[in-house]
Amino acid sequence: DADVTQTPRNRITKTGKRIMLECSQTKGHDRMYWYRQDPGLGLRLIYYSFDVKDINKGEISDGYSVSRQAQAKFSLSLESAIPNQTALYFCATSDRSPGALNGYTFGSGTRLTVV
């Protein structure tokens, strides 16, 4: 099993629908992140969580919300999906050492298409 698992792998949804992307990890890491990747724009941070009770906005949080249900689970929700949220979404984890000295681990991504 993968260290960081994202579900679903692919999703097509209609404008205005609510959708949840899920992430679970077996790394035992405290810190979890959601990124989106768009062609030409690279990976941008949406939200991050340093532990279950610590959730922070990233650079592009508008239109998104998150829930950290447990140390191992971090979900990203689009309350009312819009077409410009079509992107590849990644979940990542890191340990709590300063600067994540053991690096980041990424999931395989969720390809979301909003029509």
Partner 1 sequence: KQEVTQIPAALSVPEGENLVLNCSFTDSAIYNLQWFRQDPGKGLTSLLLIQSSQREQTSGRLNASLDKSSGRSTLYIAASQPGDSATYLCAVVSIQGAQKLVFGQGTRLTINP
List of residues contacting partner 1 (CB under 8 A): 33, 40-43, 45, 48, 56, 58, 88, 90, 92, 94, 98-109, 111
Q: What is the C-alpha separation between 6 and 21, in angstroms, rounded?
A: 7
CB of 80 to partner 1, least distance (A): 26
Query: Count of CB atoms within 10 A of residue 10's CB?
Result: 9
Q: How far is the CB of 58 from partner 1 (least distance, A)?
A: 7
Least distance in angstroms from the C-beta of 99 to partner 1: 2
Q: How many CB atoms lie within 10 A of CB 71?
A: 16
Q: Find where tokens 């999931």 sit.
A: 107
CB of 8 to partner 1, least distance (A): 14
Q: Name which of 26 and 56 has its Cβ closer to partner 1.
A: 56
Q: Dump strand ranges (E) for 2-57.
A: 4-7, 10-13, 19-25, 31-38, 42-51, 54-57
For partner 1, which is the closer residue by CB, 42 or 62?
42
Residue 70 or 103 with smaller CB distance to partner 1: 103
